[in-house]
């Protein structure tokens, strides 16, 4: 009998880095998608050519109608407050994002691709930084990939420029007229406020695997471990129940509850945005599995390679208790590569 993982449903998110509503969607799409067991596919594109076709101008409709523009910023601030995320009215709207969009195309499909997207949005709508600047784009990219120079070179190469033009043509062909736009099962949902409607088309979360407990552990780890990369604590916390307990050598007494987990994950991930965790194997146990893992942790003094184990106790498709064990002294051989920054 053959056992194989069932493919996760997908939600495509088409976004423009200049769009404040795309920023709001990028801050929450992973968490919302996790609730449906869905995988997010990020599709960067430029709205300017679309607006040129529709309105005869590449400028934002929010600029062409000042009253609408004032309302938009007030609405974005209300939504950001509701979500608990920061936002700032940018000094130059819509902000140029050509280079950032080309880089996002180059890193599509990379494990750190979503982290780059979120990082660019935050530099623009939280820091009010000029994301048209190579220096700003590099400040987001370099902590995520040692190949930043090569990626930036590829971003201005003719083939990438052609890919971006093709992406604009695809947007036109699929009927996109604004951002963010979501696709589920081929259907278009426009706007940050339609994200839940798009997710509802997927349905409630279902098991994404068939087969043995080892298959289950492998499939779960393939979704969970990438969430440790890219400084997105909300995405990571979505894998845990609201009353989950987490402990590791830094917090041996453990932290309990979603808010406590989020606080700890925020501290941990911001210091290690580019570390990568992979599963070496698993041992089924009652209520979950023992996960054998490997972590590559970049630092100023080089990359630390660390092996460890963790116990994963599940309640449904969420982690109720997570106990992480490894030799902490490996992280302190060179202080700058320590996982907790101490």
- pLDDT at position 87, please? 93
* Of the residues 200, 227, 250, the one at which a domain ends: 200
* Of the residues 157, 179, 200, the one at which a domain ends: 200
Q: Is residue 208 part of a domain?
A: no
Whether residue 243 is found in the same domain as residue 161: no
Peptide bond into 93 cis (omega under 30): no
Whether residue 196 is found in the same domain as residue 286: no
Whether residue 63 is found in the same domain as residue 146: yes
Whether residue 19 is found in the same domain as residue 162: yes
Q: Is residue 3 part of a domain?
A: no
- pLDDT at position 88, please? 94
Range of the domain at 67: 10-200
First to last CA, the chain: 50
Whether residue 174 is found in the same domain as residue 277: no
Average pLDDT for residues 237-244, to the nearest whole number?
A: 87
What confidence tier does 338 reach under pLDDT thresholds 50, 70, 90? very low
Q: Is residue 17 part of a domain?
A: yes
Q: Is residue 288 part of a domain?
A: yes
Average pLDDT for residues 312-323, to the nearest whole number?
A: 87
Residue partners of 247: CB distance under 8 A and separation at least 6: 253, 254, 255, 322, 323, 324
Where residue 158 sits, what CATH number does that domain have?
3.40.30.10
Least confident of 49-53, 161-165, 179-183, 191-195: 49-53
Report percent pLDDT > 70 for the chain: 90
- pLDDT at position 6, please? 47
Our count of domains for the chain comes to: 2
Whether residue 57 is found in the same domain as residue 108: yes
Q: Is residue 68 part of a domain?
A: yes
How far, rounded to the nearest angstrom, does the alpha carbon of residue 318 sit from its chain's CA centroid?
Answer: 19
- pLDDT tens for each residue of 278-294: 998 888 887 888 989 99
- pLDDT at position 36, please? 78
Average pLDDT for residues 160-167, to the nearest whole number?
A: 95
Whether residue 59 is found in the same domain as residue 184: yes
Q: Is residue 66 part of a domain?
A: yes
Whether residue 123 is found in the same domain as residue 164: yes
* Of the residues 141, 171, 200, the one at which a domain ends: 200
Q: Is residue 4 part of a domain?
A: no
Average pLDDT for residues 193-204, to the nearest whole number?
A: 87
What confidence tier does 333 reach under pLDDT thresholds 50, 70, 90? low
Coil vs helix vs strand at 171? helix
What confidence tier does 56 reach under pLDDT thresholds 50, 70, 90? confident
Q: Is residue 326 part of a domain?
A: yes
- pLDDT at position 111, please? 82
Whether residue 333 is found in the same domain as residue 310: yes
Top mean pLDDT of 7-16, 154-163, 213-222, 303-312 is at 154-163
DSSP characters over 196-245:
HHHHHTT-S----B-S-HHHHHHHHHHHHGGGGSSS-HHHHHTTEEEEEE
- Does 53 or 105 have the greater pLDDT score? 105
Where residue 274 sits, what CATH number does that domain have?
3.10.450.50
Whether residue 219 is found in the same domain as residue 196: no
Whether residue 18 is found in the same domain as residue 69: yes
- Does 15 or 143 have the greater pLDDT score? 15
- pLDDT at position 23, please? 96
Whether residue 192 is found in the same domain as residue 274: no
User: Does pLDDT of 164 surpass 90?
Assistant: yes
- pLDDT tens for each residue of 17-31: 999 999 999 998 988
Q: Structure pTM?
A: 0.64
- pLDDT tens for each residue of 69-114: 789 899 999 998 888 888 999 998 989 999 999 999 999 988 889 9
Kindly state the tokens that stand for 232: 């997105």
Dihedral (CA of 165, 171, 176, 178) sign: negative
- pLDDT at position 211, please? 38
Q: What is the mean pLDDT of the chain?
A: 86
- pLDDT at position 119, please? 92
């Amino acid at each position: 009998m053959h056992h194989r993982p069932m493919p996760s449903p997908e939600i495509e998110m088409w976004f423009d880095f200049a769009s404040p509503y795309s920023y709001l969607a990028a801050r929450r799409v992973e968490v919302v998608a996790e609730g449906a067991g869905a995988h997010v596919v990020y599709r960067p594109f430029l709205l300017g050519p679309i607006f040129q076709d529709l309105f005869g101008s590449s400028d934002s409709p929010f600029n062409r109608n000042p009253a609408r523009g004032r309302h938009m910023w007030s609405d974005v601030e209300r939504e950001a407050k509701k979500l608990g995320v920061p936002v700032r009215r940018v000094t130059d709207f819509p902000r140029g994002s050509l280079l950032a969009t080309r880089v996002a195309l180059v890193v599509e499909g990379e494990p750190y691709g979503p982290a780059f997207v979120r990082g660019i949005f935050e530099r623009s709508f939280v820091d009010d930084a000029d994301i048209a600047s190579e220096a700003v784009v590099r400040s987001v990219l370099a902590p995520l990939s040692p190949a930043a120079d090569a990626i930036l070179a590829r971003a201005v190469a003719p083939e990438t420029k052609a890919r971006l033009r093709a992406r604009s043509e695809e947007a036109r062909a699929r009927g996109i007229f604004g951002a963010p736009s979501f696709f589920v099962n081929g259907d278009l949902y426009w706007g940050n406020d339609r994200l839940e409607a798009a997710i509802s088309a997927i349905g409630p979360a279902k098991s994404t695997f068939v087969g043995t407990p080892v298959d289950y552990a492998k499939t779960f780890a393939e979704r969970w471990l990438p969430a440790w990369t890219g400084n997105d604590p909300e995405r990571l916390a979505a894998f845990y129940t609201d009353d989950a307990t987490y402990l590791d050598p830094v917090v041996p007494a453990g932290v309990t509850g979603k808010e406590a987990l989020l606080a700890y994950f925020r501290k941990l991930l911001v210091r290690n945005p580019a570390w990568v965790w992979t599963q070496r194997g698993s041992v089924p146990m009652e209520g979950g599995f023992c996960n054998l893992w490997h972590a590559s942790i970049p630092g100023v003094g080089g990359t630390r390679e660390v092996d460890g184990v963790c116990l994963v106790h599940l309640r449904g498709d969420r982690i109720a208790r997570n106990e992480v064990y490894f030799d902490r002294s490996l992280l302190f051989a060179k202080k700058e590569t320590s996982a907790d920054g101490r």
